[in-house]
Amino acid sequence: MDMETSTPGKKPWWTMPQNFRVPLVFYMEEDQEELIFGQSDTYLRCIEEHSYTLIQLERWFTATGQTRVTVVGPPSARQWLLHMILCVGSQDSYCHARGLEMLRRVRSQPLTKDDLATPLSMEPNTGDLSLATRISGNISLSAPEASLYLLAGCSGFHLSSLYP
């Protein structure tokens, strides 16, 4: 299967309307955005290309300098990016290191079918409130109910409209 298409012999992912329904939307602190996307969003284009998504960054004039992040693309790619961002922002050293490795990977090479098919697991850490201050807002994604464990224990998240 070609990663640019959703199934063998089908159209590229960006021509499939279902990949644009219920985008992933959240707010990210400015320093977190710079860590992930680079200064002046240097890595934005390669992250989009390598994750088979389109990412829109909108800076909001807030006291904390938040950026609104909107991600569209195949659900597995959106879920993978969310997991990477959550891990990068974690204060748990293992999870943070895993997030940095995921970030290095998506910056350096396209994600493979195996990357996107691998179940993402993150142990819920209800004591890690750092995520609440670093990423907030309405998280919307079109994903199976089983993937909700990704957000379990992450204070500051508000799920809205999980299904179209």
**What domains are defined for the chain?**
25-108 (3.30.1370)
pLDDT digits (tens, 9 = 90+) for 86-130: 999 999 999 999 999 999 999 999 999 888 886 555 444 434 444
pLDDT of residue 86: 93
Q: Are 43 and 107 in contact (CB under 8 A)?
A: yes
- Distance CA(23)–CA(55), nearest Å, equals 10
Residue 123 CB partners (closer than 8 Å, separation 6+): 95
pLDDT in tens, the chain (164 residues): 355 554 555 788 888 988 888 899 999 888 899 999 999 999 999 999 999 999 999 987 667 778 999 999 999 999 999 999 999 999 999 999 999 999 999 999 999 988 888 655 544 443 444 444 445 544 444 333 333 333 333 333 333 333 33
pLDDT of residue 14: 87
Read out DSSP for 24-77?
A: EEEEE-HHHHHHHH-GGGTTHHHHHHHHT-EEEEEE---TT--EEEEEES-HHH
- Distance CA(160)–CA(101), nearest Å, equals 29
